[in-house]
Copies of this chain bind each other. A is one copy, B any other.
């Protein structure tokens, strides 16, 4: 993972600032001959797009994506397919109100990347954070739409499972509910609660954090590695690399620290199809850095955005004490739009590990291997 590239064999390089002419990405290493239509990418981007409800920033960005390379339309069949060469995706920025930022041009927002960004580069993109803007995540979602198609049979879904102090009721979890409310909430009743809660937060000029859960089904056993190339280590980097994320966990996560060894063990029995079945999934589908064949379950915590209307003490670039109020168009709960971003990162990590595993071990059956007779 380089400064702006993610992945080893399925490699995503993103570029672009919040208030520059365009953002985009280059997806390198995608296998050839995968059918891919631009609408499939657009559809994922539309789920992340701002301005779709009163609960996200009112910035209006159509986020229309163009494929610049790496996809070829076969003349005979009219099918669009990946070619195996880099797929470049471009999204023009449309709605940049730079003047929104003139008041805070030289001030550091507490909790925002401005100060360390300036300390690093000697440069401060006051207009929405430059590369530190959540706008960069549109590129990730676009790349993720391609990544979803790499490993056959893979499904990646996400949901918001906590908003501030209000957790979802897991007994009422329904994946079908997720697209029906503006929160990616898997439970209609909790969604209603969140709506009124977030209205209050928004009107108070405040913001709130959240927890997102991402689940991948159809992951074969054997992806990952026992040491640094661990599947969970790469997932942790992927999620922690999303803006405003402060915590990541796999399976039972921090709760596993409280468990006894016997409570935490996912016992096994042979299934009817001749493959092992796990009787629980405390491990979240990963043991020793390698996928077990169970669903992969991960969560990450998003802090409240630092862009709030309540005045905070700060300093400016000239070394003077001052106060700041951020009046731009911001998300009261950035965690909401992090759901499709988290899905995209999970998909990218799995695509990469699928190809890496295939490189090292090939395409044979993953278990059981032929054993000498006992």
Contacts and interface: CB of A to CB of B under 8 A. Distances in A.
Interface in A6-25: 6, 8-9, 11, 13-17, 20-24
A171 interface: no
B20 A228 contact: no
B228 A84 contact: no
A17 B243 CA distance: 33
* Count of identical protomers in the assembly: 4
B304 A264 contact: yes
A206 interface: yes
Contact of A240 (B230, B282, B355): B230
A147 B241 CA distance: 23
A360 B355 contact: yes
Nearest to A27: B15
B15 A26 contact: yes
A287 B113 contact: yes
Nearest to A319: B270
Q: Which of A5, A245, A288 has the largest count of B CB atoms less than 10 A from its CB?
A: A288
A85 B33 contact: no
Contacts of A263: 304
Interface in A152-190: 162, 164-165
A4 interface: yes
A43 to B, nearest CB: 21
Contacts of A251: 246
Contact of A252 (B85, B207, B246, B268): B246
Contacts of A87: 15
Contact of A247 (B2, B136, B254): B254
A48 interface: no
B284 A319 contact: no
Contacts of A274: 319
Contacts of A252: 246, 303
Interface string A204-230: 001111110000000001111111111
B256 A20 contact: no
Given A68-B15, A254-B301, A84 B367 contact: no
A270 B107 CA distance: 12
A61 B100 CA distance: 40
A308 to B, nearest CB: 4
B246 A240 contact: no
A44 interface: no
Q: Which of A3, A6, A236, A313 has the largest count of B CB atoms less than 10 A from its CB?
A: A3
21 contacts: A1-B229, A3-B28, A4-B228, A21-B69, A22-B68, A31-B361, A33-B122, A90-B90, A108-B268, A109-B265, A115-B276, A116-B287, A118-B369, A207-B260, A233-B238, A233-B240, A233-B241, A246-B254, A262-B310, A269-B315, A276-B315
